[in-house]
Amino acid sequence: MTTPLTTSTSPSRELIAFRIADQEFCVDIMQVREIRGWTTATPLPRTPAYMKGVINLRGAVLPIVDLGARLGLTTAEPSARHVIMVVNQGHRTLGLLVEAVSDIINVTEDMVQPTPDVACDQVKTFVKGLFAIDGRMVSLISLDRVLPEIEAEAA
Amino acid sequence: MDPFESIKQTFFQECDELLTDAEQGLLAMELGEADDETINAVFRAVHSVKGGAGAFGLEDLIRFAHVFETVMDEIRSGKMELTDEVAKTLLRAFDVLADHVAAARDGGKVEEGRSQGAYSELRGLIGGEDEEDDAMGGGDEDFGFVPLTLSIEGDEAPGGFIDLDAQNAEAGVELPVADAAPEEALSSWTIEFSPKSEMYAKANEAGLVLRELARLGETRVTLIDEALPPLDQLAAEQAYVSWRIQLFTDSDEASIREVFEFVEDDCNLTITCDGADPAAAAPAAADDGLSEDDRAAAASASADLDITALLARVGGGDAAPAEPEALPEIVAEAPVEPAAPAEDVAALIARAQSVEAPPAPPALKAAAPAPAPAAPPATAPAAAAANAAPAAAASVTIRVDLDRVDRLINAVGELVIQQAMLSQRVLESGLARSSNVALGLEDLELLTREIQDSVMAIRAQPVKSVFQRMPRLAREVADMTGKRVKLVMEGEGTEVDKTVIERLADPITHMLRNAIDHGLEDPEGRAAAGKPAEGLVRLRALHRGGRIVIELQDDGRGINRPRVRGIAVAKGLITEDQVLSDEEIDNLIFLPGFSTAEVISDISGRGVGMDVVRRSIQGLGGRISISSEPGKGSKFTMSLPLTLAVLDGMVVTAAEQTLVAPLSAIVESLTPRTEDVHYIGGKDAVIRIRDIFVPLIDVGVALGFRETAIDPASGVAVLVESEGGGKAALLVEAIQGQRQVVIKSLEANYQQIDGVAAATILGDGRVALILDVDALVTTQRRKPAARPSEKRMAS
């Protein structure tokens, strides 16, 4: 974890950046409850491939989504190097399996660029916008869009 | 929260309980099973509702409760006969009363016509009692109510007001009876009655006893307050005052003693006969602690008035008998300074008395309301003190915020997991079973279990709280549909965890509506079918194998299978040529989007279908099934876990996963022999267990963890019985052991999964899935028909 990169005085928000398949993504830090190491998940029957199963988070049953698989990038074979970002989405708590958490970045709203048209549908569904930071590109993940799928299935 | 609001809320909570009591009493009355106590209980309940309503100025409610109460009073005093018609009227009126309470709580308004209709009906019942009626109800309502306000105000500290209030009302209502007693052949009795504090601790009321005495004949009651300490030394739970009663009656000593039956052991009581001359009694009233005015009242007014005065005082002060202490001097000064500040309880009561005494001669009606304007401020603190004693005796239960209990339950759940974890570690460490550590752990396990049971018991409640809403619903639906229904309920005492109870109400409500609306025929239809005009609906709760089973049975027309089938085909739920058993057809009504109602009626068409009912029951880890016989009726059976918190499970291994099967579903386990396993068609295996063939379900395959089944001989078959009665053998690789597990919801963060009831956390900290045995069995058994229903909307 590093210190914020920018010191802008305009209204800014903090994001947590993480890596999947050499790409950088980020989510709003307010949605992240904790970050923890990978523990073996109990698989759930008849669930999509990106559902890694459930783990025990201090007594609560926490479903784990392989975000890489969800975004159609990679299917991770989780190892001790992977991390789980525990995020809140609505009234649910979910674990996102990512390769590594890389940064905490401080951005202002005007830095957000719309997702370019080139992106495939799947990415466009989950990527709310892009940031250019130090020559890197970071995609802002919309949890609301990553997870509604689950919401819909549950309905 | 605003303290007033919170008192109000308490009142409405009490109302719920009171209405429940009242409804049960009324139902008993309708069945002709009501004894005096039941009738009294209904009266008290209605009365208390009215009393509380008075405190909050809920005019509509007061008005209605009052006339209701008056009718009840007529009944309990034997002036009105409790006919079937009366009972039915009361039940109808009760619904309106409940509406009034709801309206008062939620700020709504009761439908005018409905309320007025019920009101008139009640008034009609008491039509003959003009004088009383006028005094107590109708236009003169306020007049009749004034004395009541006195105690109601006292209830700012909730608890005791009800009885005080009742007794005042009683005093007003009952006294004429005493008055009417024959004047000849009376003998005079002197009764010395000194209650001990125990009497108040048992929530007995001196006032009630005096009132009973007044029923026997004319009384002159003298309050003896010699033992009364100064106000600042007054102990709320002590008894200081006693009474000397002169009674002129034709009753014998035995009947007088009978009045004291309940308090006999807790008071000093002497009863002496003074002979037969009523006149001899007069001087007795002279040497007491009462004021001039009171004496004047006692001498000049009829005895009942005196009692009224006394009761009014007793009402506020039987455990805080401060008032007489200061009487003599205060009475003198009160008229001079009528606006005396309220600091002195005694002063105010004295004022009440001085106001009340002068109009003595006129009559009861004038005297009764008089104390009210002055008395309320006085009785408020007095009643608070008075409450202390009865409250102490009555508090065998406490109200606890459910959140707190839930926290406790969660903590115990963690304790159970932790204990299991410890046990497992110890086992792994290779310690001998007889080692001290292992033995200590065993004790811990027993203790944990006990704590858990006790904690669960806190939340266990009889299903009564849900059932009791049903009679009203049945009446309403019956009214709306023009059908006649008799609802019989059984097993209301069956206890279930609160979390389950809360969620039972909706499914039961819906099924009951359905049973009456769709199940029962109208009276003509029933007559044509040779059935009694009144339909019978039976609602039953019972424990069966660690679950609660709720049955709802009607004796109506049963499910019209050809029609159900037709609709299912029309809606594309099944294909035209699909062959279904009767049972399968019945179960079609649980499919989403299915409705047999040709016209969506008011009752059933509330946007809830049986599929929603089924889903809500499944959400509870329950099952619903239906059995129906054309022309004879249908029976819905719901089976639910007793608690949503723990279950006894068998831990098994399947497809390298650790799974838990609910112990309640398991019949036995066995090692399959190859020759007992047979295949039907392609790969549907059955196993023969003592000459019965049951499906053999490979759990790993059924849950989609692997493609092909293992060799049955290499695993263990667990014979299970589903709620629907179907049996199956679940094939797993190994059985690890039996364990109590804490149920964790999958839905909280994810969603329901077919074949999985919930999850739990095992001793090693990992999540294990709890099998939904019924789903596994039924999916297997009804593969073709079940398909459409198994489809999820989004998949």
Q: Nearest-CA residue of chain A relative to B762?
A: A56
pLDDT-derived band at B290 (thresholds 50, 70, 90) equals: very low
Cβ neighbours around B31 below 10 Å, total: 12
The radius of gyration computed from the CA coordinates of chain A, to the nearest angstrom, equals 15
**Chosen from A61, A89, A149, A150 to mutate, greatest number of chain B CBs within 10 A:** A61
- pTM listed for this prediction: 0.50
Please tell me which residue, B143 or A141, carries the higher pLDDT value. Answer: A141
Please give the Cα distance from B155 to B151 (Å, whole number): 7
Q: Nearest-CA residue of chain B relative to A42?
A: B767
Write down the pLDDT at residue B356. 45
B235 pLDDT above the threshold of 60:
yes
Please tell me which residue, B788 or B702, carries the higher pLDDT value. Answer: B702
A54 and B414 within 8 Å at the Cβ level: the answer is no
A61 and B759 within 8 Å at the Cβ level: the answer is yes
**Chosen from B421, B657, B767, B793 to mutate, greatest number of chain A CBs within 10 A:** B767
- Closest CA–CA distance from residue B435 to any residue of chain A (Å): 30
A84 pLDDT above the threshold of 90:
yes
Write down the pLDDT at residue B539. 93
Q: Do A46 and B752 form a contact (C-beta atoms < 8 A)?
A: no
Q: Which of B572, B567, B591 has its CA nearest to residue B793?
A: B591
B749 and A61 within 8 Å at the Cβ level: the answer is yes
Which one-letter amino acid corresponds to residue B195? P
Mean local confidence (pLDDT), A71-99: 84
B751 and A153 within 8 Å at the Cβ level: the answer is yes
B89 pLDDT above the threshold of 80:
yes
Instruction: Lowest mean pLDDT of B66-80, B122-136, B396-410, name the range.
Output: B122-136
Q: Does B229 touch chain A (CB under 8 A)?
A: no
Give the one of B658, B754, B761 whose C-beta lies nearest to A56's C-beta. B761
Write down the pLDDT at residue A34. 92
Please tell me which residue, B273 or B293, carries the higher pLDDT value. Answer: B273
pLDDT-derived band at A96 (thresholds 50, 70, 90) equals: very high
Q: Which of B270, B301, B269, B267 has its CA nearest to residue B285?
A: B301
Chain A residues 96-135 within an 8 A CB cutoff of chain B:
none
Please give the Cα distance from B129 to B122 (Å, whole number): 12
Please tell me which residue, A118 or B6, carries the higher pLDDT value. Answer: B6
Q: Does B619 touch chain A (CB under 8 A)?
A: no
What residues of chain A lie within 8 A of the CB of B746, using their CB?
44, 54, 61
The per-residue DSSP string of B49-60 comes to HHHHHHHTT-HH
What residues of chain A lie within 8 A of the CB of B413, using their CB?
59
Please state, in angstroms and as integers, the Cα–Cα distance from residue B88 to each residue in B85, B95, B316, B757, following that order. 5, 11, 37, 45
Q: Does A95 touch chain B (CB under 8 A)?
A: no
Q: Which two tokens stand for residue B248?
A: 């002129």
- Closest CA–CA distance from residue A133 to any residue of chain B (Å): 34
Please tell me which residue, B128 or B369, carries the higher pLDDT value. Answer: B128
B291 pLDDT above the threshold of 60:
no
Sheet holding B646-654, edge to edge: B734-742, B646-654, B657-662, B767-771, B756-761
B794 and A155 within 8 Å at the Cβ level: the answer is yes
User: Which of helix, strand or coil describes residue B356?
Assistant: helix
Write down the pLDDT at residue B786. 33
pLDDT digits (tens, 9 = 90+) for B371-389: 444 444 444 444 444 444 4
Write down the pLDDT at residue B593. 67
Please state, in angstroms and as integers, the Cα–Cα distance from residue B679 to each residue in B95, B696, B711, B716, B778, following that order. 60, 9, 13, 18, 19
Q: Which of B4, B315, B384 has its CA nearest to residue B157?
A: B384
pLDDT digits (tens, 9 = 90+) for B26-37: 888 877 777 888
DSSP A6: -
Mean local confidence (pLDDT), B491-498: 87
Cβ neighbours around B677 below 10 Å, total: 18
Chain B residues 407-466 within an 8 A CB cutoff of chain A:
410, 413-414, 417
- Give me the residue label for tokens 């005082």: B313
Q: Nearest-CA residue of chain B relative to A48?
A: B795
Write down the pLDDT at residue B376. 41
Q: Does A80 touch chain B (CB under 8 A)?
A: no
User: Which of helix, strand or coil describes residue B205?
Assistant: coil
pLDDT digits (tens, 9 = 90+) for B782-794: 443 333 333 333 3
Sheet holding B547-554, edge to edge: B485-490, B535-544, B547-554, B633-641, B623-629
Write down the pLDDT at residue B731. 92
Cβ neighbours around B785 below 10 Å, total: 22
Chain A residues 29-48 within an 8 A CB cutoff of chain B:
40-47
Mean local confidence (pLDDT), A67-79: 80
3-class SS letters over B103-167: HHHHCCCCCHHHHHHHHHHHHHHCCCCHHHHHHHCHHHHHHHHHHHHHHHHHCCCCCCHHHHHHH
Instruction: Lowest mean pLDDT of B45-54, B204-213, B694-703, name the range.
Output: B204-213
Mean local confidence (pLDDT), B212-227: 82
A44 and B756 within 8 Å at the Cβ level: the answer is yes
Q: Nearest-CA residue of chain B relative to A65?
A: B750
3-class SS letters over B653-701: EECCEEEEEEHHHEEEEECCCHHHEEEECCCEEEEEECCEEEEEEEHHH
Mean local confidence (pLDDT), B420-436: 82
A70 pLDDT above the threshold of 90:
no
Write down the pLDDT at residue B505. 85
Write down the pLDDT at residue A54. 92
Write down the pLDDT at residue B650. 92
β-pair type (B633-641, B623-629): antiparallel
B746 and A92 within 8 Å at the Cβ level: the answer is no
User: Which of helix, strand or coil describes residue B181?
Assistant: coil
Write down the pLDDT at residue B351. 52
Q: Does B704 touch chain A (CB under 8 A)?
A: yes
pLDDT-derived band at B145 (thresholds 50, 70, 90) equals: very low
Instruction: Lowest mean pLDDT of A55-64, B121-130, B358-367, B469-478, name the range.
Output: B358-367
Q: Which of A24, A10, A17 has its CA nearest to residue A105?
A: A17
Give the one of B410, B413, B765 whose C-beta lies nearest to A56's C-beta. B765
pLDDT digits (tens, 9 = 90+) for B532-591: 888 899 999 998 767 789 999 988 888 888 888 888 888 777 888 877 788 778 878 877
pLDDT-derived band at B146 (thresholds 50, 70, 90) equals: very low
Give the one of B410, B751, B756 whose C-beta lies nearest to A150's C-beta. B751
Q: Which two tokens stand for residue B90?
A: 């009361």
CB pairs under 8 A between A and B: 81
B423 pLDDT above the threshold of 60:
yes
Q: Does B761 touch chain A (CB under 8 A)?
A: yes
pLDDT-derived band at B335 (thresholds 50, 70, 90) equals: very low
What residues of chain B lie within 8 A of the CB of A61, using their CB?
744-746, 748-750, 759, 761, 767
Q: Does B55 touch chain A (CB under 8 A)?
A: no
Please, which contacts does B790-794 make with residues 24 or more away whose CB atoms are closer than 8 Å? Answer: B790/B754, B792/A153, B793/A152, B793/A155, B793/B592, B794/A152, B794/A153, B794/A155
Please tell me which residue, B106 or B720, carries the higher pLDDT value. Answer: B720
Q: Which two tokens stand for residue B720?
A: 């299970």
**Chosen from B749, B790, B792, B795 to mutate, greatest number of chain A CBs within 10 A:** B749
What residues of chain A lie within 8 A of the CB of B414, using their CB?
59
- Closest CA–CA distance from residue B234 to any residue of chain A (Å): 55
Instruction: Lowest mean pLDDT of A11-20, B484-493, B593-602, name the range.
Output: B593-602
Give the one of A46, A56, A94 whose C-beta lies nearest to B767's C-beta. A56
Give the one of B657, B752, B792 whose C-beta lies nearest to A43's C-beta. B657
Please state, in angstroms and as integers, the Cα–Cα distance from residue B148 to each residue in B136, B141, B338, following that order. 11, 11, 22
Write down the pLDDT at residue B169. 46
B632 pLDDT above the threshold of 80:
yes
Q: Nearest-CA residue of chain A relative to B771?
A: A45
> To the nearest whole percent, how much of chain A has pLDDT over 90?
15
Q: Which two tokens stand for residue B50?
A: 């009215």
What residues of chain A lie within 8 A of the CB of B756, using their CB?
44-45
- Closest CA–CA distance from residue B407 to any residue of chain A (Å): 13
**Chosen from B750, B764, B771 to mutate, greatest number of chain A CBs within 10 A:** B750
Please give the Cα distance from B588 to B611 (Å, whole number): 9
Q: Nearest-CA residue of chain A relative to B758?
A: A61
Q: Do B416 and B742 form a contact (C-beta atoms < 8 A)?
A: yes
Strands in B545-622 per DSSP E:
547-554
Q: Does A90 touch chain B (CB under 8 A)?
A: no
Q: Do B664 and B772 form a contact (C-beta atoms < 8 A)?
A: no
- Closest CA–CA distance from residue A95 to any residue of chain B (Å): 10
Mean local confidence (pLDDT), A43-50: 86
What residues of chain B lie within 8 A of the CB of A54, using their CB?
746, 750, 759, 767
Instruction: Lowest mean pLDDT of B55-69, B149-163, B282-296, B725-739, name the range.
Output: B149-163
Write down the pLDDT at residue B125. 80
The per-residue DSSP string of B508-538 comes to HHHHHHHIIIIISPPHHHHHHTT--SSEEEE
**Chosen from B751, B752, B772, B795 to mutate, greatest number of chain A CBs within 10 A:** B751
- Closest CA–CA distance from residue B659 to any residue of chain A (Å): 10
The chain-wide mean pLDDT, for chain B, equals: 73
The radius of gyration computed from the CA coordinates of chain B, to the nearest angstrom, equals 34
